[in-house]
Amino acid sequence: MGDYRELRRRAEDRGVVLRGINPLKIRGCGIGVVTARKLTEGKVILKVPTKALCSLYTVSVVILSKPPHDSPFHGILAANIALDTTTALEPWETTLPSLLADFEATTPYYWLLEFQDLLPKPAKDILKKKQFHFQHHWNIVSKVFPQVRLEDYLYSWFLANTPTFYYETPEMEKYNWEDRLALLPIAELFNHADGNVR
């Protein structure tokens, strides 16, 4: 299992419980989750405690205090990832794309305009919305954290966008529903395909 044994160890160190499943690189399918025994319907196979999440509650107080109070949380989480010098993302490091180029190869965000125009209308609408959101978030973050480079922020923004889960708590209700985000170790592996496509 190589690096994924270490991934499991790091996740379990944070309280993640895997029951009958393992992370594994699957030939032709990327990194995913496989069963280690026969699973029974209705039984819990993965438990991720809130202390293991990368969420509002793990964002640096300094980062939370600088942007305007109505800033989108997606942008704040991305800023936290870009400026993080701790081991907050350690449980994910073997599964996350390591470079911005990994996203460039798999997302329409980087396609030439003539190819973006070929997308079906629903996909094109989502892309335009994402492009608008990124620019809005960058306008805020670049003012309050001028040390963050655009490329580093864009990479972090994609990390805060692609493998995250919806996470609702009373404190998160002040954000728009689409900003109620959290990273969950191991859980995002249920939605992987080859080439870091999510």
Q: Report the percentage of the chain scoring pLDDT > 90.
A: 20
Residue 58 in 3-state DSSP? coil
The full DSSP string for 136-152 is HHHHHHHHH-TTS-HHH
- Among 190, 152, 183, residue whose Cα is nearest residue 167: 183
pLDDT of residue 81: 87
Instruction: Label residue 6 by pLDDT band (50, 70, 90).
Output: confident
Higher pLDDT, 174 or 25: 174
pLDDT at site 197: 36
The confidence band for 93, taking pLDDT boundaries of 50, 70 and 90, is low
| 169, two tokens | 């708590």
- Answer yes or no: is pLDDT of 84 > 50: yes
Hey, how many other C-beta atoms are within 10 angstroms of the C-beta on 87?
9
DSSP string, 60-77: -HHHHHSS-TT--HHHHH
Query: Given pLDDT bands bounded at 50, 70 and 90, which one contains residue 91?
Result: low
Cβ-contact 48, 184 below 8 angstroms: yes
- With 0-12 / 13-18 / 19 or more C-beta atoms within 10 angstroms meaning exposed / middle / buried, residue 8 is buried
Q: What is the pLDDT of residues 101-150, one digit of tens each?
A: 777 767 888 888 998 999 999 999 999 999 999 999 999 999 999 999 99
Nearest CA-CA partner of 75 in 163, 168, 178, 3: 178
- Kindly report the backbone phi and psi dihedral angles of residue 17, in degrees, each rounded to the nearest multiple of 5, phi listed first: -115, 120
pLDDT recorded at residue 188:
72
Helix (H, G, I), strand (E, B) or coil at 27: coil
Q: What is the pTM of this model?
A: 0.76
